Amino acid sequence: MARVEIDWASAEVHDGELVVGLSDAASASWRRRFDAVLPQLEHGGARRWATVTAKKRRLVVGGVEEGGEADVRLLLESLVREANASEPEPDEPHVDVADERMTAAFRAFGDDGERP
């Protein structure tokens, strides 16, 4: 899965609710990690928001207070970074040398015009 990033250019606020898109669909496991880290990062300090929710293609922050934009950005960037850090790297495709040799042998049949 590709790394999920925040698409800040898509950000919109209506009635104190921030909705910002994600660069890629967030998997269910990514969203669970996001939710698990949230209480740790919200702990302490003055909160300038009421709720934070990760959806498949967007983040939603309710109750954003004017003047709290930088704090909300720091929170969201930290959450995304932590969720991405635990995302397993995509598996490298396994290349079997014997398969490659057999593929080459079968393709060679087409080169000399022989038919089985």
- Taken in order of first residue, the domains within the chain and their CATH numbers are 6-91 (3.30.1360)
What tens digit of pLDDT does each residue of 59-93 get?
Answer: 999 999 999 999 999 999 999 999 999 766 655 56
Q: How confident is the model at residue 20 (pLDDT cuts 50, 70, 90)?
A: very high
What tens digit of pLDDT does each residue of 24-65 get?
Answer: 999 999 999 999 999 988 876 678 899 999 999 999 999 999
Q: Can you say how many angstroms the Cα of residue 13 is from the centroid of all Cα atoms in its chain? A: 22
Within the chain, residue ranges assigned H as helices are: 28-42, 69-85, 97-111
Distance (Å, whole) CA 67 – CA 58 = 22
The distance in angstroms from the start CA to the end CA of the chain is: 42
Closest CA to 38 of 56, 53, 26: 53
